[in-house]
Amino acid sequence: MAKFQDRIYARYDELTAGFRKLADFLLNNTLDAAFLTVAGVSRRTGVDPATVVRFAQEFGYSGYRELSLEIKDYVRQKIKATYTVPEGGSDEAIMASVFKAASFNVDQFAATEMGRMVQAVEILAEAKRLWVTGEHTSYSLARFLAEAFDGAGLPSFAFRPTMEEASEALSKMEEGDALIGVALGTPSLDVGYVVREAKRLGVKSIVVSESGSIFPVREADVPLVVPSHSPTTLGSFAPSLTVMMLLWEGYLAKKPQQVAEKLTSLYDYLGQLVALRAATKDFEL
């Protein structure tokens, strides 16, 4: 049992109603609490932020930040113990651990970041155009996202955050556009510069990353920080890919008529092409 749990259990019966509500939340929703700020805990419990801070101080911490760090360390150790692949495990056991970790990451993200996902989808639903950028291998994901959104009826453009391509993209951006930055596996400084410059143009930005401390995440209007715990030595990109596709699905759900019109047009053209191919003789090909 963690130190913060011992302290709470030792004094639980003497707690005030407000403090007991916080204690119950930390004991029963420890995973969620590890990724929430004072404001987040306040919203989830209905207890005002000042009381959250006093609660932490009551149990010997300098403030909620110190208590939060201890909770994070406890959760990190539990995750490490749960999702470590045992040496000599079978292929099936290894894959089961990988799937279990990915599922855990997505569940954890959903429990703590749903509000930001809603904000991100609203930005996309209101955007006139979408720009998507990413460095190195993230650029391939940026292209995929741009093509997916473009196919759903939102004019979308992918570009590398190099000086040349970024300058050209920024020169075309306008207020009312949206920007998605994909920042996986690298500090993505150039993505951060693009996000900062886009903000000056009135462009709302969303950044998907597995790190909450890198430059583009700090610059974004809506940062989507996705847990990447994995039984492998490298972090997992699978949860981030899932979140990106859920952004797309959320957009589709907000624009049913637009998507239906786009699909109708697509099928009409496919029908015409099939008819042309059927009418074309082999020698003409």
Over 60: is that where the pLDDT of 24 sits? yes
Tens of pLDDT along 6-23? 888 888 889 999 999 999
**φ and ψ of 66, to 5 deg:** -65, -40
Segment 51-92, tens digit of pLDDT = 999 999 999 999 998 898 888 888 777 666 555 555 656 778
* pLDDT given at position 5: 87
pLDDT band with cut points at 50, 70 and 90 for residue 30: confident
Could you tell me the CA-to-CA distances from 171 to 7, 16, 55, 146, 166 in Å, in that order? 57, 58, 51, 18, 8
Look at residue 156 and tell me whether its pLDDT is greater than 80: yes
Torsional sign, CA 17, 19, 25, 28: negative
DSSP state of 182: E
Predicted pLDDT at 173: 97
DSSP structure string for 97-143: HHHHHHHHHHHHHHHHHHHHHHHHHHHHHH-S-EEEEESTHHHHHHH
142, 156 in Cβ contact below 8 A? no
Structure tokens at 141: 């994901």
Domain 3-82 architecture: Orthogonal Bundle (1.10)
Which has the higher per-residue pLDDT, 37 or 143? 143
Pair 223, 217: CB distance under 8 Å: yes
**Beta strand ranges found along 1-86 (DSSP E):** none
According to CATH, the topology of domain 106-264 is Rossmann fold (3.40.50)
User: Percent of the chain scored above 70 by pLDDT?
Assistant: 92
Tell me the C-alpha distance between 102 and 96, whole Å. Answer: 10
Edge-to-edge strand list for the sheet holding 130-134: 156-159, 130-134, 178-183, 204-209, 222-225
Alpha-carbon span 11 to 32, nearest angstrom: 22
pLDDT of residue 112: 74
Kindly report which listed range (134-143, 187-196, 235-244) carries the lowest average pLDDT score: 235-244
Residue 272 has pLDDT above 90, yes or no: no
* Angle, vertex CA 178, rays to CA 202 and CA 246, nearest 5: 150
At residue 171 the predicted structure's pLDDT band, cuts being 50, 70 and 90, is: very high
> What pLDDT, on a 0 to 100 scale, did the predictor assign at position 277?
80
Please answer whether residues 158 and 133 qualify as being in contact, where contact means their C-beta atoms are separated by less than 8 angstroms: yes
Write down the pLDDT at residue 154. Answer: 94
User: Any idea how long the chain is?
Assistant: 285
Residue 81 phi/psi, 5-degree rounding, is -70, -35
pLDDT over 70 (residue 187): yes
80-94, 119-133, 187-201, 215-229: least confidently modelled range: 80-94
Q: Where are the domains of the chain?
A: 3-82, 106-264
pLDDT digits (tens, 9 = 90+) for 101-130: 788 888 878 877 888 899 999 999 999 999
pLDDT of residue 174: 96
In the chain, % of residues over pLDDT 90: 48
Q: Provide the pLDDT for residue 73.
A: 81
